[in-house]
Structure 1
Amino acid sequence: MNHDVLQIIGALTVLAGYVAGQLGWTTPRSVGYLTANTLGAGVLAWLAWTSQDWGFLLLEGVWSAVSAVALVSVLRTRHTPDPTPS
């Protein structure tokens, strides 16, 4: 796939999560929002790496990593049983 097309797909993925959050369709801790950020920023980080665009790699790499950590945290919380007795 063309480098430019991948850039547009990555950017649209990140922007879709952002717009959905701004319009109240999702929250910053939702799986959809965090997945969009992780994947979109990850694609952009990989493209920055391949083109040796270090500033953009720093931005998108950190964006993707922080989103991925938050996503794992949310997923773990969803699958942790409630410790209170019933």
Structure 2
Amino acid sequence: MLNLQWFDFVGFVGVLLVLGAYAGQQMRKISGDGVMFPLINMLGAAGILVPIWYAEQMNWSVLFIETAWVAISAYGIWQAMSQRFAKPKA
């Protein structure tokens, strides 16, 4: 029997967010250049990290990839916002 805790559900939601963002980008519903794609990815990766902190044994590979995913997504958000608010060149 599965003994799921609240943090397991947060992790599942994170997985669904990452998969949804990827599917949306592949179906051309979400632009990879905008803010939405990296924002959804960052929230999803952060959600996946939650159950890692509560695990009895640390899964270092998941910790590493999801932390990297959050950092890369934050960079993507910064890039998209920088382009959005950049002053037009004369």
Bin the TM-score by the shorter chain: 0.7 to 0.9
2:60 counterpart of 1:61 = no
Query: Could you tell me which residue of structure 2 aligns to residue 14 of structure 1?
Result: 18
Unmatched runs of 5 consecutive residues or more in structure 1: none
Which whole-Å CA distance do the structure 2 matches of 1:15 and 1:60 have between them? 14
Q: Please, what TM-score do these two structures have when normalized by structure 2?
A: 0.83
Instruction: Give the unaligned 5+ runs of structure 2.
Output: none
Letter of the 1:30 partner, please give it: G
C-alpha RMSD of matched pairs (Å): 1.5
Q: Which residue of 2 aligns with 1:4?
A: 8
User: Aligned residues, how many?
Assistant: 84
Q: Where in structure 1 do 4 or more consecutive aligned residues deviate above 3 Å? A: none
Query: Is the counterpart of residue 34 in structure 1 residue 31 in structure 2?
Result: no
TM-score calculated relative to the size of structure 1: 0.86
* Conservation of the 8 A alpha-carbon contact between 2:33 and 2:80: yes
Aligned mates of 2:49, 2:33 — CA distance in 1: 22
* Percent identity between the two aligned chains: 25
Question: C-alpha deviations, 1:1-55, integer Å up to 9, x for none?
Answer: 7021111110011111001011111222221111100110122124323422211
